[in-house]
Amino acid sequence: MAEISLRRARTMIRKALEHARGAEFKPMAVAVLDSGGNLIAFEREDGASPGRYEIARGKAYGAVMLGMPGSAQMARAEAQAYFVACANGALGGGMIPVPGGVLVKDSKGRTMGAVGVSGDASENDAAAAKAGIEAAGLSAED
Amino acid sequence: MAEISLRRARTMIRKALEHARGAEFKPMAVAVLDSGGNLIAFEREDGASPGRYEIARGKAYGAVMLGMPGSAQMARAEAQAYFVACANGALGGGMIPVPGGVLVKDSKGRTMGAVGVSGDASENDAAAAKAGIEAAGLSAED
Amino acid sequence: MAEISLRRARTMIRKALEHARGAEFKPMAVAVLDSGGNLIAFEREDGASPGRYEIARGKAYGAVMLGMPGSAQMARAEAQAYFVACANGALGGGMIPVPGGVLVKDSKGRTMGAVGVSGDASENDAAAAKAGIEAAGLSAED
Amino acid sequence: MAEISLRRARTMIRKALEHARGAEFKPMAVAVLDSGGNLIAFEREDGASPGRYEIARGKAYGAVMLGMPGSAQMARAEAQAYFVACANGALGGGMIPVPGGVLVKDSKGRTMGAVGVSGDASENDAAAAKAGIEAAGLSAED
């Protein structure tokens, strides 16, 4: 399986932020993680609050570690809060189980990593992540 | 009390995975823990997400440390979420209180350890764990 | 005091990596932190090991939180290892007290943040960070 | 880059343990991690102490996250103890910087993951890891 190159991670971030500016979202942060949950690239826009890295990274981290996008994590959290609380403990406290953690898939459906976006409403965050992933020629599962 | 030998732990994992393949479950991870909550053996199938170790191990860990299989932990979590949250804190954040954490018992009913499985629906995870334990000639409490 | 804008952080990263490529350093990671120690931007080159984020961020974090570049932290660690060990504990375990954590200063000498670089020998990491900061029109204290 | 398949991880473990038995090493534990530092497979022999998972995993984890085998980490620790102490903090406390953490390389020299072995003297642990990796048709950097 191909890894996400830095070149493609940059495209994802630039296009996610262009989407956010075009839609007049609040200032955003975008993290791109590889298939092992490790950070490839990150940007936080001027005016975004300082903890946006932790939130954006957490959205992407939970997605890639569990193979489950933020929307599915949120559904699980609403059905079984204790499961998600405990999964978060097992994963070192880094999950953010809401939309905006979007899986990056290759053409065969394999998970290459995840993009996490934070700054505006969760649905808008997810839309920006998806726009970035698709602009890089990959598939998004949000 | 006899401990679970590595030979038997291997059998549990191999047979749990055979069960999963026969039933066409998603890619799985299987952890076998001893009576002290420590890892004897683990395998993660190709295609399973990278955080499956933490989830499978957490299912087995909570089971052996509390002497209570995942299904019983889940019932307790639904009745008293705060108890399970605090037990999880006391146990270092590693519990996953849902089915798929299955106790391994000897012929006298003593707990020898636990098997934790993660990858598909919790009930399917538990069925795979049970199949593995029974194939190794031991009793499962799920 | 002006903050480091995302635009300038991007310039620092791009120019630090150009310096590294020109000098044929190993694959690198570059983190830019603001005056509060929070991440603005990060990039990890293809082929850099996955833990490079933690090392690059740690170099910049210790620098900005203590107002002391990596070289000065290293001198302190060599003189008083227990001080640095305990400062690291107090700062949450994130310091990396070696060259490559470089302070970003404005024209009045005030600390605006720090750049952390990891990938090659510490001195080379520091040179890349310095090149990035100066290319963005700011002063570097390494 | 190809990932280490479970099939190959099993071969590495089986052959590392065969090496250990042939050389009459003490009871051993062997962990195989992927390129992102996540566990693929693990086995602990009967008679090995219960904390061997944490040691074996830590050897492999530090190796893959820093792209540096245990012997190189040990040299760094002897030259700059505070660097390794702090890197360990940045990596969540999981490094074990001694021989026995061996990188797994593909035919182009890219890191596919790492094998960590613990149980006997560090040099013997490293020899067992190397034997396992080479028996699986891959290159070892120890």
Nearest to A37 by CA among D100, D33, B60: D33
Q: Does C134 touch chain D (CB under 8 A)?
A: no
Architecture of domain B6-137: 2-Layer Sandwich (3.30)
- CB within 8 Å: A45 and C10: no
Average pLDDT of the segment spanning B86-97? 93
Q: Which residues of A touch B50 (CB under 8 A)?
A: 35-37, 64-65
Q: Which residues of A touch D66 (CB under 8 A)?
A: none
Predicted ipTM of the assembly: 0.96
Contacts of A60 in chain D (CB under 8 A): none
Q: What is the mean pLDDT of residues B6-26?
A: 98
Whether D34 has its CB under 8 Å from any CB of chain B: the answer is yes
Contact (CB<8Å) C97/D81: no
Q: Is C47 on the interface with D (CB under 8 A)?
A: yes
Mean pLDDT estimate for chain B: 96
> Across the B/D interface, how many CB contacts are shorter than 8 Å?
45
- For C46, half-sphere exposure in the C-beta direction (CA atoms, 13 angstrom radius) is 11
Residues on chain B touching D113 (C-beta within 8 angstroms): none
- Tally C–D CB contacts below 8 A: 65
In which element (H, E) is residue D81 found?
A: helix D81-90
Distance from CA of D91 to the nearest CA of C (A): 7
Mean pLDDT rounded to a whole number for chain D: 97
Chains B and C touch (3+ CB pairs under 8 A): no
pLDDT at residue number C91: 93
pLDDT score of B66:
96
CATH code of A6-141, in short, is 3.30.450.150
Within a 10 A sphere around the Cβ of B66, how many other Cβ atoms? 18
For residues B129 and B20, give the distance between their C-alpha atoms in angstroms, rounded to a whole number. Answer: 9
Q: What pLDDT digit, counting tens, does each position of B27-82 carry?
A: 999 999 999 999 999 999 999 999 999 999 999 999 999 999 999 999 999 999 99
Q: Does A111 touch chain D (CB under 8 A)?
A: no
- Tokens found for residue B34: 């001893």
Query: Looking at the predicted structure, is the pLDDT value of residue C9 above 80?
Result: yes
Task: Give how far D46 is from chain C: nearest CA, Å.
Answer: 33
Contact: C43, A40; criterion CB under 8 Å: yes
Q: What is the pLDDT of residue A71?
A: 97
Predicted confidence band of residue C1 (pLDDT cuts 50, 70, 90): low
- Subunits with at least 3 CB pairs below 8 A relative to chain D? A, B, C
Confidence (pLDDT) at D1? 60
**Window from A31-35, A45-49, C89-93, D70-74 with minimum mean pLDDT:** C89-93
pLDDT exceeds cutoff 80 at C67? yes
At B18, is the secondary structure helix, strand, or coil? Answer: helix
Class of the D6-135 domain?
alpha beta
Is D44 an interface residue toward B (CB < 8 Å)? yes
The predicted pLDDT at position C2 comes to 81
Is any Cβ of chain A less than 8 angstroms from the Cβ of D89? no
Report the sign of the C-alpha dihedral through residues C73, C74, C79, C85, in that order: positive
Whole-angstrom distance, CA of residue D90 vs CA of residue D15? 33
Alpha-helical regions (H) of chain A: 6-22, 52-66, 70-79, 81-90, 122-135
Q: Region B92-107: what's the mean pLDDT?
A: 96
pLDDT score recorded for residue B1: 61
Range with lowest mean pLDDT among B89-93, C60-64, D68-72: B89-93
Instruction: State residue D101's pLDDT score.
Output: 98
B21–chain A nearest CA distance, Å: 19
Where do the domains of chain C lie?
A: 6-135
What chain A residue is nearest to D64 in terms of C-alpha separation? Answer: A36
pLDDT at D98 over 70: yes
With cut-offs at 50, 70 and 90, classify the pLDDT of residue D132. Answer: very high
Query: Cβ of D10 and B42 within 8 Å?
Result: no
Q: Per-residue pLDDT for B18 more than 90?
A: yes
Contacts of D49 (CB under 8 A, 6+ apart): none
- The predicted structure's pLDDT at residue A1: 61
| pLDDT at position A117 | 98
Q: What is the pLDDT along chain A (142 residues), one digit of tens a residue?
A: 679 999 999 999 999 999 999 999 999 999 999 999 999 999 999 999 999 999 999 999 999 999 999 999 999 999 999 999 999 999 998 899 999 999 999 999 999 999 999 999 999 999 999 999 999 999 999 9
Task: Give yes or no for a contact between C95 and C73, defined as CB atoms under 8 angstroms apart.
Answer: yes
Beta strand segments in D45-142, E? 101-105, 111-118, 139-141
